[in-house]
Amino acid sequence: DQQVKQNSPSLSVQEGRISILNCDYTNSMFDYFLWYKKYPAEGPTFLISISSIKDKNEDGRFTVFLNKSAKHLSLHIVPSQPGDSAVYFCAVPHDQGAQKLVFGQGTRLTINP
Amino acid sequence: EAQVTQNPRYLITVTGKKLTVTCSQNMNHEYMSWYRQDPGLGLRQIYYSMNVEVTDKGDVPEGYKVSRKEKRNFPLILESPSPNQTSLYFCASRQGAVYEQFFGPGTRLTVL
């Protein structure tokens, strides 16, 4: 069974600094990991993903790192901007083909000016 | 504009009164899914559908029904709502084997 944990419910970071959000999972059988971002009163939007054959994927200010031996994902945002204030969810497939996607509890990121 | 729409956005109802939350996507996606979001629990999958007339249970299907008669629509039905179904509900869709899902704006349901 797949379990996904984001152990930090909230994180506060100064504008311009690095934000690091963490995610741990239990079942490493599957090949794709995702991060979603959610603003209040909106649905989650896809942010960035990483394939299990990589240990890093970068998209502009956002970088996701995958440590398969530790079953750990992290999302780095550099530099952090006020518009990055949102709830971030990591998501991991529960099965091949990702018919079921298991989400973490979310981390509320606040960027302070 | 490519989008997933849900209706209603907000609903307050009473225990036992049947209700349907509609979901529609205009991207011709095969896969659709329903989630509920609760504080401290993240998003949990209720039901999903791989295509027309193909549906299956997610992690928390109890008390819910779905149907997929057309590719674009995937309504969520609560036959006899109870207060523990008070939650924020999201519909999502994606194309085939692409894992990234598009989410609707959410429906906030309160069952008194």
CB A19 within 8 A of CB A35: no
Q: What is the pLDDT of residue B74?
A: 98
Dump pLDDT digits (tens) for A69-93: 999 999 999 999 999 999 999 998 8
- Point out which residues pair with A18 in neighbouring strands: none
Give the strand pairing for B107-111 and B87-94: antiparallel
Q: What is the pLDDT of residue A52?
A: 87
The alpha-carbon gap from B62 to the nearest alpha carbon of chain A, in Å, equals 16
Cβ separation of A43 and B97 shorter than 8 Å? Answer: no
Question: Which residues on chain A are in Cβ contact (under 8 Å) with B34?
Answer: none
The alpha-carbon gap from B35 to the nearest alpha carbon of chain A, in Å, equals 10
Q: Dihedral, CA atoms, B110, B9, B105, A66, nearest 10 degrees?
A: 10
Dump pLDDT digits (tens) for B45-57: 999 999 999 999 9
Could you tell me the two tokens for B33? Answer: 């899914």
Residue A6: count of CB within 10 angstroms of its CB: 20
* Residue from B31, B36, B6 nearest B21 by CA: B6
Q: What is the pLDDT of residue B2?
A: 86
* pLDDT of residue A98 exceeding 70: no
3-state secondary structure of B69: coil
Give the DSSP letter of residue B70: S
* Residue segments in chain B with a per-residue pLDDT below the cut of 50: none
**Closest Cβ opposite residue B103 in set A4, A6, A45:** A45
Q: How far from A99 is each of A42, A43, B84, CA to CA, in Å?
A: 23, 19, 25
What distance in Å separates the CA atoms of residue A7 and residue A55, rounded to the nearest whole number? 21
What distance in Å separates the CA atoms of residue A73 and residue B25, rounded to the nearest whole number? 31
Dump pLDDT digits (tens) for A30-44: 778 999 999 999 999
Q: What is the pLDDT of residue A93?
A: 81
The alpha-carbon gap from B14 to the nearest alpha carbon of chain A, in Å, equals 23
Q: What is the pLDDT of residue A56?
A: 97
On the question of a cis peptide bond just before residue B8, with omega within 30 degrees of 0, the verdict is: yes
Confidence band of A96 (pLDDT split at 50, 70, 90): low
* pLDDT of residue A64 exceeding 90: yes
- Point out which residues pair with A113 in neighbouring strands: none
**Closest Cβ opposite residue A100 in set B4, B58, B92:** B58
Confidence band of A99 (pLDDT split at 50, 70, 90): confident
Cβ separation of B92 and A43 shorter than 8 Å? Answer: yes
The strand ranges marked E within B52-112 are 54-57, 65-66, 76-78, 87-94, 102-103, 107-111
